[in-house]
Structure 1
Amino acid sequence: MTLNQLLVELDGYKENEEVIVIGATNFPESLDKALVRPGRFDLKINVPMPDLKARHDILKLYLDKVKCDPNLDIEPLARSTLGLTGADLANLVNQAAIQGSVRGAEFVTQGDLEMAEDKIRMGPERRSLELREKNKEVIAYHEAGHALVSLYTEGSMEIRKATIIPRGGALGMVSFFPERDELGYTKKQMLAQLDVAMGGRAAEQIIFGDKEVTAGASSDMKGATGLAMSMVAHFGMSEKVINIL
């Protein structure tokens, strides 16, 4: 009955009551057709993820509420937080404040913010995980492989950080700075991503040999496979597909 009454109000039978109905959803494709038919929700506004300037302003808004290092630079953090929502950014500042308080610091530093971002993206540090020296060596070469390929591949993004500190399900990671928020990646940039993804496995093969490679490249292979399939099936970037068309 509540739903039916809402639909009646949306039809505008009682215009003199000056009722405005506002709805929000993350899944518009799942809404009932009776709710979204013409005449009910007349204006639809898409709210995308915050862009670079928006992330900068959101971070500044929340950082103004905590005591920060006077030399704090928000710009690198705004660049590296591509894909995070406003709520994520608020959580990032909160986690950084907690980190500073645990250290007994007087103010939040750049390092606190970077650690908070790593925690949000990859999970907390796995301090209890004990790795053998051999494992650390393999992980270090693997991540160095990603970093080196990125440095020497045209179209790759700037490296932000390379680490072998285990977090979440990852034993190490190389993260990147996008130069700007890309509205559409080029074929060169996508091929660079594929090259960088293969850099870890390539480093293992060069240093330890084909028979000593590990399963550490599993997520790299999965991501590269998905990107390659999209390039061929969705973006028409395969020469063979173009020739067939």
Structure 2
Amino acid sequence: MTLGVGFPVAAALYMVYGPLGGGKLVLPESSDEAVLALVESASVNASQSQYSGRVVVTTKAEWAGGLFDLADDPAVAALSLTCTFCVFGWNMERLGLGNMHVHVFTFALLCAAPVLVFAVAALNTHDATLGCVVGAAGALLSVLGLLYGGFWRAQMRRRLGLPGDRSMCGGRPATADYVKWLLSAPCALAQEVRTGSLYDVEDVPVEEKEKPAMAPLDREGRAVPFTAGNAVAIDAPPVPVMVQDINTYK
């Protein structure tokens, strides 16, 4: 039982004081201030949606679909349900919120260690009632391990300047993040993965490269192609040559 309580506490302390919590990005608490900061740093964010194959240009950060819009990407929804820890760690790493392996190990430890250790303690308890109480306590602590995902959902929301949900939990967006992970963890994770794909700008292809203008012939003069940052320089046209018949002067 001591191990069941000690492991989650150690994981939580490592999360706060370890490499995951050591270099957090401090952003304004208000979603409006975060959006203004994003707009000031870059007037337009261009990103590629990997799950739909389209390029999205936005001036205000937003979540990719609602919490229960699993049909937007069934593959992500299935992976979020079956491989929750791995998908969570991968998504956090690509967003710059820590190492994938550390996230996977910490999350799995918080959710699995209490129920396993308390279950062993319950089996070794001679009193059946006490054994049920110990087993139920382990299961409850394992469910509370999902709050780890809610904590990092709040960090992701602040980092990307995403709007918080003020329609629940008394208008507290951070508390709403915890509740969403506690009650519907796969749906919350799927929404985070879709949003991460929406704002993943590392592999955005160049849609259109600058094409030089058609060069005129030498006899027509020469013009430098016009670009947004260069001025236009046009050479003077050639002087026309006049040819007259010499018989006209006789």
Q: TM-score range by the shorter chain?
A: under 0.3
Structure with more relative contact order (C-alpha pairs < 8 Å, separation 6 or more): 2
Q: Which has the greater radius of gyration? A: 2
- What TM-score results when the alignment is normalised by the length of structure 1? 0.20
- What TM-score results when the alignment is normalised by the length of structure 2? 0.19
